[in-house]
Amino acid sequence: MKKLCILFFFSFILCNIISAQWSVGGRFGGTSGVTVKHYPASTGLLFEGIAAYNFDDHLDAFSVTLLLEKLGALNSQGTLGAIIGGGETMVFGDEFYLGINGILGFDWRIGRIGLQVDWMPTYIFINESYFSPINLAFTARWVFQR
């Protein structure tokens, strides 16, 4: 029974990965680097990972951010949408910092090109107590079709 449950779990994950769209691109702004976004086929929830360099003077270091976002369509084709979400950020500099962040912005897909403008404020609460409001960014991605 245990093997059957494990097989079912991995089959579910594999089907979700295969039936979803992925996009990879660059993020340019307060945090600049590489971003990967996962568009599941069944829900309006998006998963985004960002590996970047943070240009805030207080957090001047490499960071990894993981986000869960909700996409709300603004047109009938679903190519323009507003995003809202949140997640966590890990900053690896002279010291390790951990924080939470929110994201608010717009996502526009033109064929296989995805463009995004967003604001992602961050509140650091591990090894420091600091709020970074300056993270406005533009992102351009290549969307891999299903």
Q: What are the mean pLDDT values of the chain's consecutive 10-residue runs (146 residues total)?
A: 47 51 91 89 82 86 94 86 94 92 94 93 91 91 82
Q: Are 127 and 114 in contact (CB under 8 A)?
A: no
**Beta bridge partners of residue 31, listed in sequence order:** 54
User: By the 8 A CB rule, do 108 and 80 touch?
Assistant: yes
Q: Could you tell me where the beta strands, DSSP code E, fall in the chain?
A: 21-29, 31-39, 45-54, 61-73, 80-92, 96-110, 113-119, 122-126, 130-132, 136-144
Query: Parallel, antiparallel, or unpaired: how do β-strands 80-92 and 96-110 relate?
Result: antiparallel
**What are the residue boundaries of the structural domains of the chain, listed by start?**
21-144
Look at residue 40 in the predicted model and tell me its pLDDT.
Answer: 72
Note the pLDDT of residue 138. Answer: 96
The verdict on domain 21-144 having CATH code 2.40.160.20 is yes
